Each structure stands twice: as C-alpha cells, then as structure tokens.
Amino acid sequence: MSHPFSIRDLLRADPDGGAILPGIDPGATPGVKDRDAAEAARGELSDRLHGLQERLFVEGRRSMLVVLQAMDTGGKDGTIEHVFGTMNPAGVDVASFKKPTDEELAHHFLWRIERRLPVPGQIMIFNRSHYEDVLIVRVHGLVPDEVWSGRFEEIDAFESTITASGTTIVKCFLHISYDEQRARLLARLDDPDKHWKFNEADIDERARWADYQAAYEDAIRRCSTEAAPWYVIPADRKWYRNWAVATLLAETLEELDPTYPRPDLDVEGLRARLAPPH
C-alpha cells in the first residue's frame, strides 16, 4: 500500500516551531483514513518489514536502534508485540531500562546504554532508554537541575556518534492522553488476568502528569536532531499506533535499502550436482 506522503514527515517533531505536545491530538490518525484502512494494510506492511529486516540482517553492515518512550500504559510492550512480532528474532532484540542498579549508578548515565547498542545487522529496541535520565530524574528531583539539563548536549553528541558509526536511530514517543491513561489503568483493574500489570506507583506517577509532559516536551525539543529526530505518535488508538510505527520503520528501512549479498556462484554447476541420480 503506497502513500503520496511520508509518515516520517507527518510525525516528525519540529523543534523550531511552537509547543510540540500540546499541539498534537493523541486521538488523531494522521496518514490513514480509519481502522479498516489500517487493518487492510497490515499484511502487506508486515511482509515489507519482514523482508527489509531480513535484508538488513543478512547484509550485516548497518544496524537500527528503535527508542520507545511513553507515559505509563502508553503502549510500548504492545508496540513491540504487534510491530516486531513478525520479524526474524535472530536479528531483533529488546533492552528494557528500569531503575539503575548500584553498579550502573557508579558509572556515567550512558554506560549501561552503550552496553546494549545494536551490532551490525541487528534491530535493537529500547523499551525506555537513556532519556529516563532527563525525565524521571527531573520529575523526582533525583539529581540537581544543572546535572540533568546538561545531559541534553551529551545525548545529542552520543546519538551523533552512533549514527556516524552506521546505526540509524528511530525515536518514537507514544503520545496518549490523560483520559486514555485512566481508561487503561481501570481496564487493568477490571480484568483479573491483567492485575499483574497494575502497579500502584502508576497512580502516584499519574499525579505528576503535567511535570512529565513538560519534561518530555523539553527532551523532544532539545534532542530532535537531523541525525536522530523524534517522532510523536498519537497513541490513544492502539491500531493507529501500530500502523504508524510499522509504516515509519518501513519507510526508514526502505531509505537504507539494505541488500542481499551476491556471492559468485556457479549456479548451473551446482544445479547439476543436485540433480537426482540416473
């Protein structure tokens, strides 16, 4: 399913414009008419992604880093399941960055990130990332203001170095609304099979909604660069979130245009050797 537009252009954050997040409707569906259209594109889109990821893996020269950030219940796990589930697991990995360990705290904040960067041919997904060190640490006052504010430039330099080494970075903020988060938290309470996903601390974090929105606004504005732009994905509608992220990745991989190796094989000679005995 081809489009006369680029989803990357539609969803790319503009750090030079006005306010970013307040101007984006989390319930919008830019680029696709409705759910039926997105569902109709699912098979073709999955095939495109599978083939492109296989080519990247077999080529073995370049890699991709996908950064997923969101408020609680924003859909990071669901995105990973639905968008990356059809890819070859040999070439895809996920790293989740939770509260730093004592060992990690003893090092520079990027130390644990560097240890999980993708190898050539791999797509690495960061379920939360180095951006936690300008988000949660800011909201909770875990480090002084001059420490977290100085990290924006460090992150930009870090990402510039990664891209220069052959890794394409795709950063997605899954943008949900305050009301949608409430609905998703209540849905977890209503389903006993989802109680394991409910964390009472999420309610405390929800009380800091405005602080987190301000922190994300600054992180996206300060760290959306030409080398590693941020994309804001309206994520109230799960079907749209999945379609948008999948389309975004397909466009990015198609631009990379990875190729299969072309070994110099004596095809006819090999066919003859595989012929059944007379």
* b/e burial code for range 155-182 (CB count within 10 A of at least 16 → b): bbebbeebbeeebbbbbbbbbbeeebbe
Tell me the per-residue pLDDT of 42-85, one tens digit each, with 9 for 90 and over.
999 999 999 999 999 999 999 999 999 999 999 999 999 999 99
The pLDDT, as a whole number, for residue 194 is: 85
Percent of the chain exceeding pLDDT 90 equals 84
Predicted pLDDT of residue 241: 98
Mean pLDDT along residues 117-144: 97
In the prediction, which pLDDT does 4 show?
Answer: 62
**Over the stretch 10-54, which tens digit does the pLDDT of each residue have?**
999 998 878 999 999 999 999 999 999 999 999 999 999 999 999
Residue 3 is predicted with a pLDDT of: 60
Sheet holding 123-127, edge to edge: 92-96, 123-127, 63-70, 167-175, 230-234
Most confident of 84-93, 143-152, 187-196: 143-152
Q: Mind listing the pLDDT tens digit for each residue in 207-230? A: 999 999 999 999 999 999 999 999
Residues sharing a CB contact under 8 Å with residue 133, sequence separation 6 or more, in sequence order? 109, 148, 151
> Per-residue pLDDT for 176 more than 50?
yes
Contacts within 8 Å (CB) and 24+ apart, 72-75? 72/181, 72/185, 72/199, 72/202, 72/205, 72/206, 73/176, 73/180, 73/181, 73/184, 73/185, 73/188, 73/202, 74/174, 74/175, 74/176, 74/181, 74/235, 75/174, 75/176, 75/235, 75/238, 75/241
